[in-house]
């Protein structure tokens, strides 16, 4: 009774009583679980719980008793620690008895774990983020919040570093990768930027919601100031060294996407015009990205965004296309085939244009119906003039 009220302080008394009844296995008699006593409310009062006028559990007359009871139970009842943890996991299922009180339960577990042996906080967080436990995005957000708070404590910080790295690498659990990305995008990332960037790289290995969170965190960090921007540039360049990894290309594409919010591309373009190393970052980044099959569709979308941004004068035309020309030359050698495929605007040979359409897998254009008067194929297939038919 006391333990249920201690974890659920402020909750309706009836909810605390139901939670207390859920302790232990279903085979145990109620007398064992309630520690005897006919009236649950009287039993609550007898163990020191105040019952307020609106019938909620409180500890107004004994401040500090709730946390003291939690610590005492965990310290003295060592043989029931595992059952206590399982009980908390059961009652805090999103649609469970105390699902709406999960935040307070998590906070009290966090406080207990600062000094407790066999800390229960991380085990419960593991359970709360299992895909089979819940699909509620609110629970993932709650766990990220609790881990962020835990990172502010000296006692739990080393375990937080380890847990975030472990979860960021866990391919089988997208919830935990999402938690790692959310934590690294907050105050943890601001205090420990190098550690956060390492964890974000692991999250970006996979194409899912967690990777989107990680990518946004990366851009948000870079938008803080110029030093942060340069730091992310340098970091992404090191990620390209992992040749089989999609993390670098995926991060690069988010970083240079004109539609990303916040937008850092314009600042990067401005820097690139004065700093050759930033321009080289664009060329190297595109070169590595175009070789990564996992981001092929996203790369195409960002290239189109560059074209549209240039067309709308949001990017400087000559400089932008100059970068893309170097990217193209590096990606496709300037040889006979390159010239055949791309050529120059002055080449209007109808046969060559037709071949390019075919090789690009584009729908053939019916040039006989083309509305453009300067269409080279239309001119090449136009009907002969009367003078020509007469042989003049």
Looking at residue 309, its pLDDT comes to 92
Backbone angles phi, psi at 71, to 5 degrees: -65, -45
Looking at residue 4, its pLDDT comes to 93
Q: Is the peptide bond before 262 cis (omega within 30 degrees of 0)?
A: yes
What span, in angstroms and rounded, lies between the C-alpha atoms of 38 and 249?
66
- Segment 327-345 shows an average pLDDT of 71
Looking at residue 380, its pLDDT comes to 47
Looking at residue 40, its pLDDT comes to 74
Looking at residue 89, its pLDDT comes to 96
Asked if residue 385 has pLDDT above 90, the reply is no
**Between 2 and 341, the higher pLDDT residue:** 2
Of the listed ranges 104-118, 140-154, 209-223, 347-361, the least confidently predicted one is: 347-361
Asked if residue 383 has pLDDT above 50, the reply is no
Of the listed ranges 12-26, 283-297, 375-389, the least confidently predicted one is: 375-389
Looking at residue 305, its pLDDT comes to 93
Q: What is the pLDDT of residues 13-23, one digit of tens each?
A: 999 999 998 98
Q: What is the pLDDT of residues 231-257, one digit of tens each?
A: 999 999 999 998 789 999 999 999 999
Asked if residue 360 has pLDDT above 50, the reply is yes
| 330 close to 283: Cβ distance less than 8 angstroms | yes
Q: What is the pLDDT of residues 177-189, one digit of tens each?
A: 999 999 999 999 9
264: helix, strand or coil? coil
Of the listed ranges 22-26, 47-51, 166-170, 381-385, the least confidently predicted one is: 381-385
Quote the mean pLDDT of the chain: 86
Looking at residue 384, its pLDDT comes to 45
Asked if residue 205 has pLDDT above 90, the reply is yes
What span, in angstroms and rounded, lies between the C-alpha atoms of 275 and 355?
40
Q: What is the pLDDT of residues 68-83, one digit of tens each?
A: 999 999 999 888 999 9
| 98 close to 92: Cβ distance less than 8 angstroms | yes
Beta bridge partners of 50: 58
The residues, any chain, with a CB within 8 Å of residue 320's CB and separated by 6 or more, are: 269, 306, 309, 310
């Amino acid at each position: 009774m006391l333990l249920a009220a201690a974890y659920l302080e402020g909750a309706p008394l009836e909810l605390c009583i139901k939670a207390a009844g859920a302790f232990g296995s279903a085979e145990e008699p109620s007398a064992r679980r309630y520690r005897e006593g006919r009236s649950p409310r009287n039993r609550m009062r007898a163990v020191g719980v105040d019952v307020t006028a609106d019938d909620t559990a409180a500890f107004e007359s004994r401040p500090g008793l709730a946390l003291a009871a939690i610590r005492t139970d965990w310290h003295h009842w060592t043989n029931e620690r595992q059952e206590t943890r399982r009980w908390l996991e059961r009652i805090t299922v999103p649609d469970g008895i105390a699902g709406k009180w999960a935040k307070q339960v998590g906070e009290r577990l966090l406080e207990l774990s600062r000094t407790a042996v066999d800390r229960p906080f991380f085990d419960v967080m593991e359970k709360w983020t299992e895909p089979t436990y819940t699909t509620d995005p609110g629970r993932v957000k709650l766990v990220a919040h609790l881990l962020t708070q835990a990172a502010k404590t000296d006692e739990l910080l080393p375990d937080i570093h380890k847990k975030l790295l472990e979860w960021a690498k866990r391919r089988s659990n997208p919830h935990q990768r999402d938690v790692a990305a959310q934590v690294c995008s907050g105050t943890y990332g601001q205090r420990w930027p190098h550690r956060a960037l390492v964890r974000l790289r692991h999250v970006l290995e996979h194409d899912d919601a967690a990777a989107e969170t990680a990518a946004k965190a990366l851009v948000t960090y870079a938008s803080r100031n110029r030093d942060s921007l340069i730091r992310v540039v340098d970091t992404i360049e090191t990620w390209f060294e992992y040749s089989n990894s999609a993390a670098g290309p995926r991060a690069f594409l988010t970083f240079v996407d004109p539609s990303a919010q916040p937008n850092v591309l314009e600042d990067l373009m401005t820097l690139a015009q004065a700093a050759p190393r930033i321009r080289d970052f664009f060329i190297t980044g595109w070169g590595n990205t175009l070789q990564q099959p996992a981001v092929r569709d996203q790369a195409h979308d960002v290239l189109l965004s560059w074209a549209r941004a240039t067309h709308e004068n949001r990017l400087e035309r000559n400089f932008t296309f100059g970068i893309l020309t170097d990217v193209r030359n590096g990606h496709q050698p300037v040889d006979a085939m390159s010239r055949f495929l791309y050529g120059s605007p002055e080449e209007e040979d109808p046969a060559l244009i037709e071949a390019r359409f075919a090789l690009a897998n584009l729908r053939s254009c019916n040039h006989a119906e083309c509305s453009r008067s300067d269409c080279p194929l239309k001119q090449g297939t136009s009907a002969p003039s009367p003078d020509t038919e007469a042989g003049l």
